[in-house]
């Protein structure tokens, strides 16, 4: 041990000098760690946020290199899409031409243009594999006897014929031996060895086919061998563990992670374990040292030195940073390697490292944050453990006992330079291409070495990664063209007056019977539409793409209504506490830190009842908690277990009859539930907002500002109906750790009902209206706002404060809520088409029952599909998208350019919120879909909730951030396409002034187009500037209702225009 000790003393002197810069370095590297906080408030964000400053296409490649994850889907998946028509050959051609630019037409010797070569490589699946595998394929399959099945028979016959001609002419015994055929002769003779040469004239076509292929293979190999290719050695792994793994197959991380996962989970625990980690508050490093420096420790071989090591470190009073510096020098990591080495070391257990960093920097989001500096301490401990594990593995497997700084060199030497010449792979590539393109052995043989080198360089520069990129761009192109064509066509139809849109102003007189208007009246109404006319009622939803179907059905059911949408927190950024809640939770986008507090109280009449029920709740809660914890202990568990047979009743009931059980529980749950009549404490008396008495709520002026903002955003300042329903949304499901990811993104993973309620309350306040009137915004006296909440999982609707509804509006509300009921039922029906376990022929009622059952089902891993399939974001008036079937794929934000000022105040603030939120959702789905186990958290089935803040796979694994496969499985990974109703100049103006938006747009993280609905002219952003878009087709399928379009179909659906059919809408609306 002497050399090690000497080492220690030497390294300690350098440690001090090295330590300080390390802090900076670690904090810099930490931004590559997953940025997901505790799972209880799931916030969607760009998975590759760390690389967002780079353009998308570079960032995904960098992400692939850093995290070892896929940048795009596998090539085979795109090829399947090509077969299904989701990508067309024309898309690939156009994308390729676009991508290659001038380089497309370059001639590559005999082999045609670069464009044709690349197209051939895209069209046919090119396989590759390790050398041994390729040799096996050549020897054991009929790769050398039969052409690939994909090869056209004509091509095959021509190649065989020409080969035959060449052989018979130049290379059989009678031929004149020419200088340049010398090598060919050798090759052919090698082939003849396995064929019946004497009877060459009697060979049948199969023999000739096999012969041609043998020859082709040899010619290719000959060419590849002769070519001058610069062989790039693969980059050497930097971590000792990776070097050792390559050399021996032993993973030194495995024992380290076993211990570290357990310890990190205990350190981060938010209150699950009954005993928390001793000395947790002293930090990661301290508590680890305290725990493991005691005697009589674990017997595991690799940890035998741990106690002494920790005691040594403690005696020398090394700080965590000094310990890191010491470990680095002991491991022989050079100064220039520091950053890369630390990055890889942190990324090895990136889930926990990221969570430590999150709790350290965003402690406000957790119940028990961790002290600052925890990530550094984590790294210090990790490196100590790494050293021990490396030494143990190196000794056990390699017999290496020397100092660790020599380990990498030693292991590399032992592994030998396991380099591959790549000849087989390259040969196989050319061999495949030659078959599908029809290159003849003779012409390949006559290629000069220079030409071969050029060919191979071409093939290499169009690697699998590049092909996937082209495929992906083609896939996005197809959907973009479909969308823009549909939008343009739909706008044209509306302008020519032939669609369901533009119908919003049929109710020419408020209080008219609305739905009973006949067609004749309607035409009149359309004509009088020049003047603003008032819809029967209005619904303001969240911009969430899941509300698209809900709104579309509502407009079909009640053609006289108008639907609008904005971010679902309705500008009410607050900490909210419900009557039955224990704490305040933030309800607003994560970028906003709310200042205001709002809480819900039970009305005075029910105070006593509430007190009683609260007490009952507390009793039951305490008992449940005792049982929950007690059943896991010694004596309590005994009692619980002996009585446990009772558990079989809820067990069987809940699993076999989830919906009925839930109803039963609701019926009997009444005696503990909060009384349903409650009110919000919304108005503040003190000046400063805060959670204390008197400080809760808003001042009237603040309320007025909120109401003004939302009404201006959605553009209803002149046409406010008698009844406006403001509808927040959220989702509730069982057995779903990712429940919060289904909630409203604009409420920061919370449920937006209280926001809608608060907003309605504010807008109904006469004082607010008075202030607004002063500012020039007039809300008619007869207008009533009603707050509502839409549960996107079971499609339930709840309304708030209905007891305050004036009796004059009872009928209006009854009519509106009937229409909403029908709409949510139909929306549930439309959702069911994507659920394989729901039959396609369900009625709408049965569909509603089905989704209700899903939400209550313990065994359901797909309560809803969340944001899956999101692909579009429309910002503009509803008029031009109304009646367009968008298949629940579009975020819709209402915006009326006519009401914006010259500084584009409204559009700017809308886009400032919409861009990061929607792009974040879209990109998170993109990455979790293209690599479900790398960027996503894999399948839900083995998930195990740990420390109340995340999930692991099975018994113990790294924390898994990202989305589970069951949430994204129907997603289609395309970058979000924004279609914004504004001018190019305005959009550029906004991009210039908003760094965040410009970064997303210019980095191609999103796609962007602007629209002028009056002329249906579209400009799209491409290569850094806007270009005019010319639609490919003007056709848009016409259907009478949504259901006619989606009925009987589970897969993706294209766009369609809904024809106006009032008769049907009415009959269904009333029925």
Partner 1 sequence: MDTDTIFHVLGICVVVCPAALLGALGLRAIVGRPLGEESINRCTYASIMVGLTAAVAILGMMLVFGTRHVAIELGDWVVIPQQHFHFHLKFVFDRLSVPFVILSYLLCGTVGAFTSRYLHREPGYGRFYVSYAFFTLGMVITSLAGTIEVLFFGWELVGLSSALLVAFFQERTAPVRNGLRVWSVYRLADAAFLIAAVALHHMTGAGDFDRLMGSGSWPERVASLTPRQALFVGLLLLVAAAGKSALVPLSGWLPRAMEGPTPSSAIFYGALSVHLGAFLLLRVSPILELSIWLSAAVVGVGLVTALFAAITARVQTDIKSALAYASLTQVGLIVAEIGLGLRYIALIHILGHACLRTLQLLRAPTLLHDYHTLENAIGGHLHHQQGIWARVIPAPARLWCYRFAMERGYLDGLLDECVAHPFLRVFRWCDAAERRWTDFLSGGRSRESDAVEVHAEVVEELRL
719-748: which residues touch partner 1 (CB under 8 A)? 734-737, 739
Exactly one of 90, 107, 152, 367 binds partner 1 (CB under 8 A); that residue is 367
Identify whether the C-beta of residue 297 lies closer than 8 Å to the C-beta of residue 994. no
Let me know if 557 is exposed, middle or buried by CB neighbors in 10 A (0-12, 13-18, 19+): buried
CB of 839 to partner 1, least distance (A): 11
Which range binds partner 1 by CB under 8 A, 155-163, 273-281, 486-494, 865-873?
273-281
Residues 397 to 426 in contact with partner 1, rule: CB under 8 A? 418, 420, 425
626: three-class secondary structure by DSSP: helix
Residues 51 to 70 in contact with partner 1, rule: CB under 8 A? 64, 70
Exactly one of 21, 109, 125, 129 binds partner 1 (CB under 8 A); that residue is 129
Interface with partner 1, residue 430, by CB under 8 A: no
Count the Cβ atoms, other than its own, within 10 Å of residue 776: 8
Q: Which is nearer to partner 1, 471 or 1020 (CB)?
A: 471
Q: What is the dihedral of CA 911, 912, 918, 923, to 10 degrees?
A: 120
Nearest Cα neighbor of 748 from 21, 40, 27, 35 is 40
Which range binds partner 1 by CB under 8 A, 164-172, 639-647, 723-731, 1039-1047?
639-647
Which range binds partner 1 by CB under 8 A, 487-495, 519-527, 549-557, 649-657?
649-657
Chain centroid offset of residue 150 CA: 35
Residues 469 to 508 in contact with partner 1, rule: CB under 8 A? none
CB of 626 to partner 1, least distance (A): 10
Strand partners, 678: 602
For partner 1, how many residues bind (rule: CB under 8 A)? 106
Which range binds partner 1 by CB under 8 A, 146-154, 168-176, 258-266, 1030-1038?
258-266
Q: Which is nearer to partner 1, 153 or 249 (CB)?
A: 249
Q: Which is nearer to partner 1, 576 or 759 (CB)?
A: 576
Element (H, E) at 978: strand 977-980
Residues 565 to 584 in contact with partner 1, rule: CB under 8 A? 580-583
CB of 488 to partner 1, least distance (A): 37
Which range binds partner 1 by CB under 8 A, 80-88, 270-278, 597-605, 811-819?
270-278
> 201-205: long-range contacts at Cβ-Cβ below 8 A with a sequence spacing of 24 or more?
205/160
Exactly one of 15, 39, 227, 910 binds partner 1 (CB under 8 A); that residue is 39
CB of 859 to partner 1, least distance (A): 4
Nearest Cα neighbor of 426 from 129, 713, 665, 204 is 129
Interface with partner 1, residue 837, by CB under 8 A: yes
Distances (CA, A) of 431 to 127, 130, 457, 707: 11, 16, 15, 69
CB of 352 to partner 1, least distance (A): 12
Q: Which is nearer to partner 1, 45 or 70 (CB)?
A: 70
Residues 882 to 921 in contact with partner 1, rule: CB under 8 A? none
Computed from CA positions of residues 362, 367, 372, 376, in that sequence, does the dihedral angle turn out positive or negative?
Answer: negative
Q: What angle do CA 284, 285, 290 make, to 5 degrees?
A: 105
Exactly one of 188, 210, 219, 266 binds partner 1 (CB under 8 A); that residue is 266
Rounded Cα distance between 969 and 939, Å, is 10
Residues 214 to 243 in contact with partner 1, rule: CB under 8 A? 234
Length of the chain: 1071
Residues 931 to 990 in contact with partner 1, rule: CB under 8 A? 939-948, 952-957, 969
Q: Which is nearer to partner 1, 324 or 838 (CB)?
A: 838
Q: What is the dihedral of CA 643, 649, 655, 657, to 10 degrees?
A: -160
Q: Which is nearer to partner 1, 860 or 982 (CB)?
A: 860
Rounded Cα distance between 129 and 159, Å, is 26
Computed from CA positions of residues 472, 478, 481, 487, in that sequence, does the dihedral angle turn out positive or negative?
Answer: negative
Identify whether the C-beta of residue 826 lies closer than 8 Å to the C-beta of residue 844. yes
- Two structure tokens written together for 987: 């959009």
CB of 637 to partner 1, least distance (A): 5
Residues 1011 to 1050 in contact with partner 1, rule: CB under 8 A? none
Residues 445 to 474 in contact with partner 1, rule: CB under 8 A? 463-465
Element (H, E) at 228: none
CB of 838 to partner 1, least distance (A): 11
Interface with partner 1, residue 131, by CB under 8 A: yes
Q: Which is nearer to partner 1, 33 or 946 (CB)?
A: 946
CB of 44 to partner 1, least distance (A): 18
Q: Which is nearer to partner 1, 625 or 767 (CB)?
A: 625
Distances (CA, A) of 842 to 833, 845, 1049, 1054: 9, 8, 12, 22
Neighbour order of strands in the sheet with 562-566: 562-566, 537-542, 723-730, 784-791, 796-799
Interface with partner 1, residue 644, by CB under 8 A: yes
Half-sphere exposure of residue 391: CA atoms within 13 angstroms, side-chain side:
22
CB of 578 to partner 1, least distance (A): 8
Residues 653 to 682 in contact with partner 1, rule: CB under 8 A? 655-656
CB of 812 to partner 1, least distance (A): 35
Computed from CA positions of residues 757, 763, 765, 767, in that sequence, does the dihedral angle turn out positive or negative?
Answer: positive
Interface with partner 1, residue 315, by CB under 8 A: no
Interface with partner 1, residue 167, by CB under 8 A: no
CB of 254 to partner 1, least distance (A): 8
Count the Cβ atoms, other than its own, within 10 Å of residue 1013: 22
Exactly one of 138, 238, 397, 861 binds partner 1 (CB under 8 A); that residue is 861
The 604-623 site mask, x for binding partner 1 (CB under 8 A), equals ----------x--xx-xxx-
Exactly one of 220, 277, 306, 599 binds partner 1 (CB under 8 A); that residue is 277
Interface with partner 1, residue 802, by CB under 8 A: no
Exactly one of 643, 985, 1014, 1063 binds partner 1 (CB under 8 A); that residue is 643
Element (H, E) at 946: strand 943-946
Concatenated DSSP letters of 775-837: TT----TT-EEEEEEEETTTTEEEES-GGGS-GGGHHHHHHHHHHHHHHHHHHHHHHHTT-TT
What residue has token string 């100064």? 335
Rounded Cα distance between 205 and 193, Å, is 18
Residues 67 to 126 in contact with partner 1, rule: CB under 8 A? 70-71
Exactly one of 10, 169, 611, 632 binds partner 1 (CB under 8 A); that residue is 632
Interface with partner 1, residue 199, by CB under 8 A: no
Exactly one of 106, 647, 840, 1063 binds partner 1 (CB under 8 A); that residue is 647
The full 3-state SS of 854-911, as one line of letters, equals HHHCCCCCCCCCCCCCCCEEEEECHHHCCCEECCCCEEEEECCHHHCCCCCHHHHHHH
CB of 68 to partner 1, least distance (A): 8
- Two structure tokens written together for 441: 């052995």
Interface with partner 1, residue 136, by CB under 8 A: no
Q: What is the dihedral of CA 631, 635, 638, 641, to 10 degrees?
A: -20
Residues 235-269 as b/e (b if ≥16 CB within 10 A, e otherwise) read eeebbbbbbbbebbebebbebbbebbbebbbbbbb
Exactly one of 300, 458, 782, 999 binds partner 1 (CB under 8 A); that residue is 300
Exactly one of 556, 560, 857, 896 binds partner 1 (CB under 8 A); that residue is 857
Interface with partner 1, residue 301, by CB under 8 A: yes
CB of 343 to partner 1, least distance (A): 19
Interface with partner 1, residue 528, by CB under 8 A: no
């Amino acid at each position: 041990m002497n050399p090690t000790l000497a080492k220690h003393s030497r390294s300690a002197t350098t440690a001090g000098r090295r330590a300080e810069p390390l802090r900076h370095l670690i904090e810099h590297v930490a931004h590559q760690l997953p940025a997901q906080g505790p799972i209880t408030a799931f916030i969607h964000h760009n998975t590759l946020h760390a690389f967002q400053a780079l353009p998308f296409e570079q960032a995904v490649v960098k992400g692939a290199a850093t995290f070892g994850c896929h940048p795009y889907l596998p090539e085979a998946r795109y090829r399947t899409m090509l077969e299904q028509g989701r990508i067309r050959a024309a898309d690939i051609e156009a994308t390729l031409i676009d991508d290659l630019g001038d380089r497309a037409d370059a001639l590559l010797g005999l082999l045609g243009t670069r464009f044709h070569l690349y197209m051939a490589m895209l069209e046919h699946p090119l396989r590759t594999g390790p050398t041994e595998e390729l040799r096996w394929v050549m020897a054991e399959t009929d790769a050398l006897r039969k052409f690939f099945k994909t090869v056209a028979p004509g091509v095959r016959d021509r190649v065989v014929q020409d080969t035959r001609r060449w052989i018979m002419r130049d290379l059989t015994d009678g031929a004149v031996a020419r200088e340049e055929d010398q090598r060919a002769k050798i090759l052919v003779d090698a082939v003849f060895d396995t064929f019946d040469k004497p009877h060459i004239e009697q060979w049948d076509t199969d023999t000739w086919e096999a012969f041609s292929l043998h020859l082709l293979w040899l010619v290719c190999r000959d060419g590849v061998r002769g070519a001058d290719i610069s062989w790039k050695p693969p980059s050497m792994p930097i971590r000792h563990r990776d070097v050792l793994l390559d050399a021996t197959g032993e993973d030194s991380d495995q024992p380290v992670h076993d211990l570290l996962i357990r310890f990190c989970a205990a350190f981060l625990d938010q209150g699950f374990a009954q005993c928390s980690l001793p000395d947790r508050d002293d930090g990661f490093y301290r508590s680890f040292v305290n725990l493991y420096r005691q005697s009589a420790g674990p017997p595991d071989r690799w940890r035998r030195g741990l106690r002494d090591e920790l005691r040594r470190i403690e005696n020398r009073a090394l700080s965590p940073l000094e310990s890191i510096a010491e470990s680095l020098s002991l491991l022989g990591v050079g100064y220039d390697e520091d950053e890369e080495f630390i990055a890889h070391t942190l990324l090895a257990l990136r889930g926990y490292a990221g969570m430590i960093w999150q709790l350290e920097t965003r402690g406000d989001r957790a119940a028990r944050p961790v002290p600052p500096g925890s990530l550094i301490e984590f790294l210090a401990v990790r490196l100590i453990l790494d050293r021990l594990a490396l030494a143990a593995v190196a000794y056990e497997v390699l017999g290496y006992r020397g100092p660790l700084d020599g380990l990498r060199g030693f292991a590399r030497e032992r592994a030998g330079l396991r380099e591959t010449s790549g000849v087989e792979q390259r040969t196989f590539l050319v061999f495949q291409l030659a078959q599908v393109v029809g290159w003849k052995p003779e012409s390949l043989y006559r290629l000069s070495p220079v030409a071969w080198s050029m060919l191979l360089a071409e093939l290499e520069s169009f690697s699998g990664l590049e092909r996937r990129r082209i495929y992906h761009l083609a896939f996005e192109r197809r959907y973009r063209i479909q969308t823009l064509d549909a939008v343009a066509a739909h706008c044209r139809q509306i302008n020519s007056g032939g669609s369901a849109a533009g119908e919003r102003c049929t109710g020419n007189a408020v209080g008219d019977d609305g739905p009973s208007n006949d067609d004749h009246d309607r035409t009149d109404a359309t004509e009088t539409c020049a003047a603003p006319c008032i819809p029967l009622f209005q619904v303001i939803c969240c911009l969430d793409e899941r509300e698209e179907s809900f709104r579309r059905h509502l407009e079909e059911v009640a053609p006289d209504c108008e639907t609008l949408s904005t971010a679902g927190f309705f500008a009410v950024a607050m900490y909210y506490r419900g009557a039955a809640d224990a704490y305040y939770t933030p309800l607003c986008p994560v970028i906003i830190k709310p200042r205001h507090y709002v809480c819900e109280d039970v009305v005075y009449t029910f105070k006593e009842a509430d007190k009683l029920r609260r007490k009952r709740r507390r009793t039951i809660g305490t008992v449940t908690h005792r049982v929950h914890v007690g059943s896991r202990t010694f004596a309590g568990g005994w009692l619980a277990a002996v009585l446990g047979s009772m558990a079989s009743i809820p067990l069987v009931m809940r699993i076999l009859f989830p919906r009925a059980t839930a109803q039963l529980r609701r019926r009997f749950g009444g005696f503990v539930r909060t009384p349903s009549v409650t009110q919000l404490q919304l108005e503040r008396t003190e000046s400063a907002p805060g959670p204390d008495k008197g400080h809760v709520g808003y001042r009237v002026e603040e309320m007025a500002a909120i109401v003004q903002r939302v009404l201006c955003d959605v553009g209803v300042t002149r046409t406010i109906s008698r009844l406006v329903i403001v509808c927040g949304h959220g989702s509730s499901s069982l057995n779903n750790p990712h429940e919060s990811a289904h909630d409203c993104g604009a409420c920061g993973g919370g449920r937006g009902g209280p926001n809608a309620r608060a907003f309605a309350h504010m807008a109904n306040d006469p004082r607010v209206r008075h202030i607004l009137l002063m500012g020039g915004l007039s809300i008619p006296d007869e207008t009533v706002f009603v707050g509502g909440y839409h549960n996107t999982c079971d499609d339930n609707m709840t309304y708030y404060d209905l007891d305050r509804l004036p009796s004059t509006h009872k009928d209006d509300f009854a009519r509106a809520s009937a229409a909403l009921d029908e709409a949510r039922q139909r929306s549930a029906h439309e959702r069911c088409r994507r659920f394989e376990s729901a039959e396609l022929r369900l009625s709408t009622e049965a569909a509603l029952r089905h989704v209700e059952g899903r939400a209550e089902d313990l065994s359901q891993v797909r309560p809803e599909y969340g944001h899956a399939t999101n692909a579009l974001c429309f910002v503009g008036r509803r008029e031009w998208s109304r009646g367009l079937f968008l298949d629940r794929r579009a975020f819709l934000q209402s915006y009326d350019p006519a009401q914006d000022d010259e500084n584009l105040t409204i559009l700017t603030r809308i886009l400032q919120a919409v861009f990061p939120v929607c792009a974040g959702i879209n990109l998170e789905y993109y990455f979790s879909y293209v690599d479900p186990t790398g960027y996503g958290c894999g399948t839900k089935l083995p998930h195990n909730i740990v420390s109340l803040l995340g999930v692991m796979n099975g018994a113990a694994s790294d924390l898994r951030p990202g989305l589970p496969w069951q949430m994204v499985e129907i997603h289609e990974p395309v970058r979000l396409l924004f279609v914004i109703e504004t001018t190019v100049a305005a959009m550029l103006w906004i991009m210039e002034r908003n760094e965040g938006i410009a970064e997303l747009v210019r980095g191609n993280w999103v796609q962007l187009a602007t629209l002028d609905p009056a002329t249906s002219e579209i400009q799209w952003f491409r290569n850094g500037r806007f270009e005019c878009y010319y639609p490919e087709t003007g056709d848009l399928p016409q259907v009478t209702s949504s259901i006619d379009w989606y009925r009987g179909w589970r897969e993706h659906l294209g766009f369609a225009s809904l024809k106006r059919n009032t008769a049907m809408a009415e009959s269904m609306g009333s029925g």
